[in-house]
Structure formats: structure tokens, C-alpha cells
């Protein structure tokens, strides 16, 4: 079967760095997405990785290792507004998105 | 710049009642999707459409029907609501799904409670 695993909840301090991990087992691979979802709101696109390595976009970076079936989202200089759920999704060989349950990130002052 | 608009935002139904959720997008996107989101689970695809007049089943289609009569609109219907359909429903759209890096644009969601 297809499976995406992420931690359910993480807590970090304002100004710090946090890494949210995602491991996957899917039928083929056509890329991995990260979305941010604030409570009661719609998911919004953060990043897309299809090749191994690190993609940096401002305070947010996303890493992919296809051989390990592993990705992480790195958030630097955490701000209170970063409190949200972070959703990992993998596109399989049929271009279908498989979603993880999301990681709720709590930022404390 | 409305993007993807969903109505209504909240709805309460009694078991057996029917309802329709409306999704509209103004980005001229070909693909549209209906997802449900439940606590502790990833987004699950109910139905999707690859263009006007076409629909297809997703992962959890039972108990739902959809229609895409116009390119910009995608309707989700519940013929006879059941408590198991209590969930948050999201509509989404994308330019295409035939390119792997196409991101989804989501509506603001509908909280549906079935009593």
C-alpha cells in the first residue's frame, strides 16, 4: 500500500529552527509537495521537490532523498505566524497525490 | 483575485437529507477536485474532473456525486447524508495534472456536520 508518515505534533520556540520530517512509500514517484494549513483555513503551497537535494525559499527549505523515501521541511527564524499544520504529499506514478496526515507545529514565545 | 470560492462555509444536516456544495474558480483551470479532511488522516480525494463535462472517482467516492457543467464550476452532492460524512470538505483546482509540479489551489473549506 501507499503510505506517508509525519509526526503528529511538534513544538518549537519563536526565533528557533525546526525540522519536520516526512517518509513515504508509494507506487512510483513524481515529486513531493509541502503545503501549509493554518487552523480553519485552506492549505497553501510551500514547495515542490523532484530531485535529491535542498531547495531554499527564504526562511523555508525543503530536502529530498529519493533513495531513502525521505523529505524534511526546515523552518528558520520561527515566527508566531508559522504556527500551522504542515502537509506532506507525494505524487505517485499515476500523477495521483497521496497525502500525509499533517504535522501540527506549535510555536511558543 | 478570488481564486477558488466555496459555498457554504458551514452546514448542518440531518441523516438522510441531501445537499449540494458549490465550488467556483476564476483561474481558467482545467482540473478540479473535491477532498475531505478528517482528524488524524490525510486529505482524501472524493471525485475529480479533468475538464468541462467530465468527472472521475477518487479514493472515497461512495455516497457522493459531482457535476462539471461549466469549466469554472464543480458541484459536490450528497444524496442521503450519513453521520460518517461529517467532515471538512475542500475544493481545489490546478491548471493540469499532467505535469508533476502543478500545485493545487484550495477553497476555504466547508465544515459539514451530519446529525
Output the nine-digit C-alpha cell for B22.
458549490
Percent of chain A with pLDDT over 70: 100
Report, as an integer, the average pLDDT of B56-70.
Answer: 96
| Chain centre distance of CA A27 | 19
What is the per-residue pLDDT for A94?
85
Output the nine-digit C-alpha cell for B110.
466547508
What is the per-residue pLDDT for B97?
66
Handedness of CA A38, A44, A50, A53 (dihedral sign): negative
Please state, rounded to an integer, the average pLDDT across all residues of chain B: 94
Q: Which of A6, A43, A94 to mutate to test the interface with B (most CBs of B within 10 A)?
A: A43
| Chain centre distance of CA B86 | 14
Segment 59-88 of chain A within 8 Å of chain B by CB: 87
For chain B, the distance separating the N- and C-terminal CA atoms, rounded to the nearest angstrom, is 36
Give per-residue burial for A74-107: e unless 16+ CB within 10 Å, then b.
ebeebeeebbbbbbbbbbbeeebbbbbbbbbbeb
What is the per-residue pLDDT for B1?
67
Report, as an integer, the average pLDDT of A90-94.
Answer: 90
Chain B interface with A: residues with Cβ < 8 Å: 4, 40-45, 90, 97-98, 100-101, 103-109
Amino acid at each position: 500500500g501507499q503510505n506517508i508518515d509525519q509526526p503528529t505534533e511538534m513544538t518549537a520556540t519563536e526565533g528557533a529552527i525546526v525540522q519536520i520530517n516526512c517518509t513515504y512509500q508509494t507506487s512510483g514517484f513524481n515529486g513531493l509537495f509541502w503545503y501549509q494549513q493554518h487552523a480553519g483555513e485552506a492549505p497553501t503551497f510551500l514547495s515542490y521537490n523532484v530531485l535529491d537535494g535542498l531547495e531554499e525559499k527564504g526562511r523555508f527549505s525543503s530536502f529530498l532523498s529519493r533513495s531513502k523515501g525521505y523529505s524534511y521541511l526546515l523552518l528558520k527564524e520561527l515566527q508566531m505566524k508559522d504556527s500551522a499544520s504542515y502537509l506532506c504529499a507525494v505524487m505517485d506514478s499515476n500523477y495521483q497525490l497521496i497525502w500525509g496526515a499533517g504535522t501540527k507545529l506549535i510555536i511558543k514565545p | 483575485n478570488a481564486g477558488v470560492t466555496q459555498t457554504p462555509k458551514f452546514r448542518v444536516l440531518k441523516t438522510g437529507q441531501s445537499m449540494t456544495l458549490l465550488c467556483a474558480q476564476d483561474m481558467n483551470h482545467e482540473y478540479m477536485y473535491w477532498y475531505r479532511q478528517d482528524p488524524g488522516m490525510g486529505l482524501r480525494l472524493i471525485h475529480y474532473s479533468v475538464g468541462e463535462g467530465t468527472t472521475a472517482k477518487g479514493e472515497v467516492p461512495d455516497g457522493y456525486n459531482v457535476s462539471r457543467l461549466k469549466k469554472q464550476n464543480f458541484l459536490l452532492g450528497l444524496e442521503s447524508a450519513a453521520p460518517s460524512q461529517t467532515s471538512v470538505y475542500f475544493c481545489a483546482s490546478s491548471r493540469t495534472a499532467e505535469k508533476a509540479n502543478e500545485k493545487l489551489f484550495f477553497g476555504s473549506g466547508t465544515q459539514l456536520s451530519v446529525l
